[in-house]
Chains A and B, each alone.
Chain A
Amino acid sequence: MDWAYFLQQLINGLTLGAIYGLIAIGYTMVYGIIGMINFAHGEIYMIGAFHSLITFLICQAAGISGILPLTLLLMLFVSMVLTSVYGWGVERVAYRPLRGSFRLAALISAIGMSIFLQNFVQISQGARVKPMQPLVEGGITLMESANFDVQLSYMQIVIIVLTFVLMVVFSLLIAKTSLGRAQRACEQDRTMAGLLGVNVDRTISTTFVMGAALASVAGMMVTLYYGVIDFYIGFLAGVKAFTAAVLGGIGSLPGAMLGGLLIGLIEAFWSGYLTIEYKDVATFGILVLVLIFRPWGLLGKPEVEKV
């Protein structure tokens, strides 16, 4: 067994998993609060990626791309703000009028929204793949072996650390602030929360905004990490992130992160040791297995069927 290779796949998997986890949080929060699959969330992530790419290009044109930390912070901030507005807008236009209607209506509306956003970006930014030059280069060599050096790039460190920080901040937000309390209240019983003075509409909007902000960070990371984006990246990432959310137990924040990491690891190891072509099959295969034997996910609570 080649431990160096194993370690490298582990690092790659964790990086990928962090990105999936960030997207998965958006799914899990929305599902927790209004019980619907926000199908357009993958598209929000894609829009986040485009926002960060364009912000970078603007920085480059303005001549401040040399100052790396400033550029990165600007990309992060601008993309988070602008993408959140999309999250808000999608909820406002496509979901809010259908709240209280039957379940499938919102799902179909979400699918329509997803098709719309994809094509909107395709038309406004072109269908070609957008390349992005690497901003954060270099890395640390962790281990040297005969035929293989284990590399931990600075970009991977940035991704993992940033994900960790965001996770901590959001967990605190949910656990400690009045906003988080309102969210948890809405999750348990929307009507009751409304009667007790929680502004339900605003809480749900905030949930979408938070999910979109996290997805935009994931989008920015992917732009920097892989260096290519196009208008179609949202679909597969969205499906996988949803898989991650289900795997971790939908409705649970730590579950989403754990699910994301697991999906990332499975994908990395599968492509590393088996066939790279069938990595998506592996992901979905795992999902099916989990759902059969533990439908409430790893960290979720089993739902009691009520008559």
Chain B
Amino acid sequence: MSAAFASSRTNGSEVVKELAFFAVIALLMSVMLLGVETVDRPTGLELAVRWDLVLIAIGATVIGRLGLIFRRENISRLGQAVLITLSAVAVFEMFVRFRELDDRWVSPVFLDMVFSSVVSTIVGIAFVAIIFATAYFTMKDKTAADVDESAKLSSKIQLAYRSNTKKIGLIGIIFFIIFPFIFGEDRSAIDLATLVMIYIMLGWGLNIVVGLAGLLDLGYVAFYAVGAYSYALLSQNFDLSFWLCLPLAGIFAASFGIILGFPVLRLRGDYLAIVTLGFGEIIRVVLINWYDLTGGPDGISSIERPSFFGLADFSRRVPEGTIGFNELFGMEYSSMHRLIFLYYLILVLALVTNFVTLRLRKLPIGRAWEALREDEIACRSLGINPTNTKLSAFAIGAMFGGFAGAFFATRQGFISPESFTFLESAVILAIVVLGGMGSQIGVVLAAIVMIGFPEMFRELAEYRMLIFGAGIVAIMLWRPRGLLSFRDPTILLNMSQKEKVAGEIK
């Protein structure tokens, strides 16, 4: 094996050629979009030049590439880490410079910023240290044995994960139940947890469609929107309470799922994806333009908040004839009560989704979904009706989307078509796939990574989505089959789950 590695070593001039090639690529990519800025002036567009960004982009690319060459050729691990860190710092410097447009040539802004105060010095050094450490420890000198070793390790982790899913799940549930007791007074923490929980629920709902039945749905947000708008409209026009609307929203969304699914579910994967995407867009366009019903782009505001199961109300000034939640339990009034109640509500809804999914997986219909995902033709020859089976997955997934939508509407108190763009569908699908399709715990993990982290870094504002997009690509490249692995069919012929994993280790 080592001979093969030695023979692949490239000589100096080839390395220079490769670096020059990437430098040219970086130059071509950055020369206009980075190097020139279009500035709005009263007289029209004008140009501002910022060649320093181009230079940094080229520098970052070349240094990063050199780091990858080091890695490929198994040259010093320290060198690899240093190069990668340098490249990352250069990229960071570039982003900082977007904001600081004056005095660009005076000094590297990054250094400037780092040494401007003690705190920022520490933050800056920590940033560099973290990247360096990550690079140093992940970019090991890889030999064939090491590769084997790491593959074994990841299989072991998977085996441990698979044989302990129940325990992990239980610990997770307990954590989420006691979460408000830990962060009870922290409004933003509860809000964030509620948001993450909404996405976990949506992820679990979509997981039925994508993970179990193998149907690629790019328009899941449509059902979310149907749920949200049906609650908002029913509550405003017919004065129905949240608890009555919740099942209705689910039913409406499921019916939409059936109406949409019936004609299109005969299609193959990618076609289905694009049709569902189109359907999502149609719903959004209709919501924007049907002004009389939906309020158009203005959306629907002051949607009724949920009561405590119709028994008590959470507002400070309780309407006539009802009592306040705090009075019911003899507590001081606190605006946190409603937030915590909402948190538990979505937690219960999400757990119901999870529970139903776990049960369905064991029923004939769940088995049929998995079988259909694996081999449609075989299913058809065995007498499974593919359209009905797919339709049921679609409708059930849509129903949970509808529940989540109704919850979203009541939590926000305001909805508009803005909240139901394609990006939402993409985020939900990304959560399912990044988690590892079909894996319930994977969805939780991915939702925390994808929703929780970006929300925590709100200050990054305009860079958030940029990093989000790059993050999706990076996670996909790092673990194409998801953070936690793919879920295999629940039952296989002649092979139990454990044996299969054990087989993988060998």
Interface residues of A (CB under 8 A from B): 31, 37, 47, 50-51, 53-55, 57-58, 61, 78, 81-82, 85-86, 88-89, 93-94, 97-98, 101-105, 107-109, 111-126, 128, 130-133, 235, 239, 242-243, 246, 275, 277-278, 280-281, 283-285, 287-288, 291-292, 295, 303, 305, 307
Contacts and interface: CB of A to CB of B under 8 A. Distances in A.
Given A108-B434, A287-B278, A292-B263, A57 B268 contact: no
16 contacts: A47-B33, A61-B47, A78-B32, A89-B25, A98-B476, A98-B477, A104-B210, A104-B433, A109-B473, A109-B476, A111-B430, A123-B462, A277-B285, A281-B282, A287-B275, A295-B271
B184 interface: no
A112 B37 contact: no
Contact of A107 (B267, B273, B466): B273
Given A109-B476, A119-B469, A305 B36 contact: no
B36 A291 contact: no
A131 B45 contact: yes
B429 A108 contact: yes
A243 B281 CA distance: 13
B463 interface: yes
B469 A50 contact: no
B157 interface: no
A94 B31 CA distance: 21
A291 B323 CA distance: 56
B47 A82 contact: no
A89 B266 CA distance: 36
Interface of B: 25, 28-29, 31-34, 36-38, 40, 44-47, 98, 210, 216, 263-264, 266-271, 273-275, 277-279, 281-282, 285-286, 288-289, 377-378, 422-423, 426, 429-430, 433-434, 437, 462-463, 465-466, 468-473, 476-477, 480-481
Counting chain A CB atoms within 10 Å of each CB, the highest count among B29, B433, B437, B477 belongs to B477
B466 A116 contact: yes
Nearest to A57: B47
A112 B429 contact: no
A107 B437 CA distance: 14
Given A94-B473, A123-B463, A239-B278, A305 B285 contact: no
Contacts of A47: 33
Judged by DSSP, the binding face of B is helix
A156 B256 CA distance: 41
A125 B279 CA distance: 32
A305 B267 contact: no
A120 B275 CA distance: 28
A61 B422 CA distance: 39
Contacts of B36: 54, 57-58
B466 A280 contact: no
A239 B473 contact: no
B264 A124 contact: no
Nearest to A125: B38
Given A246-B274, A292-B263, A93 B473 contact: yes
A204 to B, nearest CB: 17
Contacts of B46: 57
Given A54-B36, A239-B277, A89 B271 contact: no
B480 A115 contact: no
Given A121-B33, A123-B466, A130 B274 contact: no
B274 A287 contact: yes
B45 to A, nearest CB: 6
